[in-house]
Amino acid sequence: MFVMELTYTAPIEAVEEQMDAHIAWLDGHYAAGVFLASGRKVPRDGGVVLAGGVSRAEIEKIAASDPFTMAGVCEYRITEFIATKTSSDLAPVRESPLT
């Protein structure tokens, strides 16, 4: 599983110009079953996406395809972790620890 933390690198007005395209990008990855949760950070200087079911290389390609990234208004920090314990709603994405 991945925590995709994005930080805005441009004024919020430039981010807002890309918001509709970013939301459409999010919707596509939710429909594909990759994104599990997302939202704005507080304070509003970026956002967070929880994702799973893909490789590190795939998640990096996904981040690079974000309209925010393509417009140069954000940068991603991607953290991979093994979700060994989850709520029942997230049971399908639980993973076994590596030995």
Model pLDDT for residues 3-54, shown as the tens digit of each residue: 999 999 999 999 999 999 999 999 999 999 999 999 999 999 999 999 999 9
Q: Are 16 and 68 in contact (CB under 8 A)?
A: no
Rounded to two decimals, the pTM is 0.91
pLDDT tops 60 at residue 99? no
Backbone angles phi, psi at 97, to 5 degrees: -65, 145
Q: Are 35 and 2 in contact (CB under 8 A)?
A: no
**Tokens 């599990």 -> residue:** 36
**pLDDT of res. 60:** 98
Residue 71 pLDDT level (bands cut at 50, 70, 90): very high
Residue 98 pLDDT level (bands cut at 50, 70, 90): low
